[in-house]
Amino acid sequence: MKSRLVWLLLCCIWGSTWLFIKLGLEDLPPLTFAGIRFFIASSILFGIVAVRRLPLPRRRSDWLLLAITGILAFSLNYGLLFWGEQYISSGLAALLQATIPAFGLVIAHFYLPGERMTPAKIFGVVMGIAGVGVIFSNQLSVAGSAALAGSAALVLSSVCAAYSNVLVKARGQHLDPAILAASQMLFGLFPLLVIGIPLEGNPFDFRWTPMAVVALLYLAIVGSVIAFLLYYWLVRNMEVTKTMLIALVTPVVAVTLGMLVLNEKLDWRTIAGGVMIMSGIGLIVVRTVKRLKA
């Protein structure tokens, strides 16, 4: 029962982060917003590392891996994500980022010998990408060029996140999860702030409304630190195949919250494309579950 409650809580947290990103972007510029989020989160995680007295990596190759994956997963992924969500709905952003497993399968084919592409997996990837194409088909004509660019940024961010995930699985599974997340955030936040502050101005001059502060703290503490700790607790206490189903639930939560709180609308192409994306990812997850149980 406890594992199920944590699973449900994680779905709610990760599904709600899209809403809080959208709320924060009403007052804060994207790159610096993301950078400050991970500065707070990484500081807390390094505090946890210190309390637990976890040894830091000693090999140069490990630090290189952390730097590369940190830039991919946090600088590029979240930089593009925060920038893109300025121009599209939070629900659409969540749907487009749900393509991470599809891109991950393609990339894993070249890095992980045990995760080769199969006809079923290829069909799932094609369906997911076709869903993206359906969504893109009316972004320019209905929502304008900015929305199309925002959607493209979310898809590119998914590719970066997927590449980072595959690299960690291929070369970083010996690293402690707390050190992995804290170090990746640390390496990832510097490009965000180095680029963001000159372009977006002094953070002390930002419009720090109560909602902006709440959004920032929620994303840093709840959406990053607490969610990370809950997830790795769940991995130890629940079958990994069940934890994978979180990827199918969070976009649904995000879309629902966007409609209820922000009054976001979904046109038929977005709904159709979203169904195709989730069906493709669902097929990938089901095939992976069967392989792991075999």
- Distances in whole angstroms, Cα of residue 172 to Cα of each of 39, 105, 178: 22, 18, 13
Determine the pLDDT at residue 272. 81
Supply the range of the domain harboring residue 58.
2-293
Determine the pLDDT at residue 145. 78
How far is the C-alpha of 176 from the C-alpha of 49, rounded, in Å?
Answer: 9
Determine the pLDDT at residue 90. 87
pLDDT tens, residue order, the chain (294 aa): 677 888 889 889 998 999 999 999 999 999 999 999 999 999 999 999 999 998 989 899 999 999 999 999 999 999 999 999 999 888 888 888 888 888 887 888 888 777 677 777 777 778 777 877 777 666 555 556 788 889 899 999 999 998 998 898 888 888 888 898 899 999 999 999 999 999 999 999 999 999 999 999 999 999 999 988 888 787 667 665 566 667 777 888 888 888 888 888 777 777 787 788 778 777 776 666 556 555
State the total domains in the chain.
1
Q: What percent of the chain has pLDDT over 90?
A: 44
Burial class (CB in 10 A: 0-12, 13-18, 19+), 4: exposed
Determine the pLDDT at residue 289. 54
Render pLDDT for 103-142 as a digit per residue (tens, 0 to 9): 887 888 888 777 677 777 777 778 777 877 777 666 555 5
Helix (H, G, I), strand (E, B) or coil at 202: coil
Determine the pLDDT at residue 156. 95
Q: Indicate the helix (H) or strand (E) that contains 179.
A: helix 177-200
Q: What percent of the chain has pLDDT over 70?
A: 88
Q: What's the sign of the alpha-carbon dihedral 152, 147, 279, 272?
A: negative
